[in-house]
Structure 1
Amino acid sequence: MSEEIEKKVSELLNEEKWTRATLNSYTINNFIDLDELIQNAVDQDVKNQIKDLCDEHLVHTKNSIIALYISGIIALNRQVIDDSNMVQLINIFSDNHKWNVVEFLCNRILSFGENKFALHTLASCYDHENEEEKKHGIWERLIKVDHDEADIVRFLAEIKEKEGDIDTAVEYYKRAIHRYIN
């Protein structure tokens, strides 16, 4: 069974390389299918072999969507600090304005824990989609993990002040001032 998984990943990587699938052809369902494959690799205890296969493929084909995703998710699964493959993947899709895929990928990273890059990018994604409430919710999560971020804290304070939530606004203004000073 484990050889089947390795063979399947190898076939997917080769198919992607030879067909040169366009970025526009990738949907969230493609990533959900890859998640199933990754879960099977984890269940069969072949995730290291699959990651190595993808990393080797990335040496020759640095923008392989499949290899970046599989390698990135397995790295997150291992709780490795290096999330560069997922960052590169998100940047590829955000540069091409595929916001629904960017949102999915950011949420996928966040399913492993809070991440400044994913939160910043997700807020930007919601900004492009004009989803202000969702963006503000992400900002509230972001300021809990990014202690250097002062501007967003000030924006949240202004929003809370307009909403009439003075106590929360004052708290945010205090945080913003403290962050600007430091």
Structure 2
Amino acid sequence: AGTEALSGLRYGDGARVTLPLGNGFPTFSGKVAVVGGGFGVAPLLSAARACKAAGAEVRIYNGFATAERIMLTGLFAEAGKLTVCTDDGSTGFRGFPTAALEADIAAGWTPDVILCCGPSPLMRVVKKLGEERGVATYLSLEQRMGCGIGACLTCTCKVAGHNKRVCKDGPVFISTEVQP
């Protein structure tokens, strides 16, 4: 209902909103890898900018199916060293962003922390990659959210043996707590 109402707004229309809801990515200095897939890259932009402002060395690995789906490259390039990946190789690195990150790790660059948002299969690979290497990894979960304040329990997820609400307690969780 909320998304439908927002989609009906026209330029100049007013709206009352309660923002922000939930918890975003923490800000880090040091070496930060930002891994995004598809529309999941969008919430990572402010995190990458904040880390850069804190003095971090930020490397960004954004993946898209094809060149036509690529977005926000100019803004991400300002926030760190950007590697654009496409599944079909039409632009940038051919393959998934996790493969580009693994190539940098193999070349001697190891992040202190990984921030990730995207499709569940991508986040599962990032979770495994980070945990196997002892790198703190934060995942922003994508769930349907009914109310946005935790009352309806539509967005619950299993976190370390109990349920948490993605809208209120997340959407960002340390990877060791959740299974995307």
TM-score, length basis structure 1:
0.25
Bigger share in helix = 1
Computing the radius of gyration from Cα coordinates, the structure with the larger value is 1
The structure with more strand, counted as a fraction of residues: 2
Q: TM-score when scaled to structure 2? A: 0.25
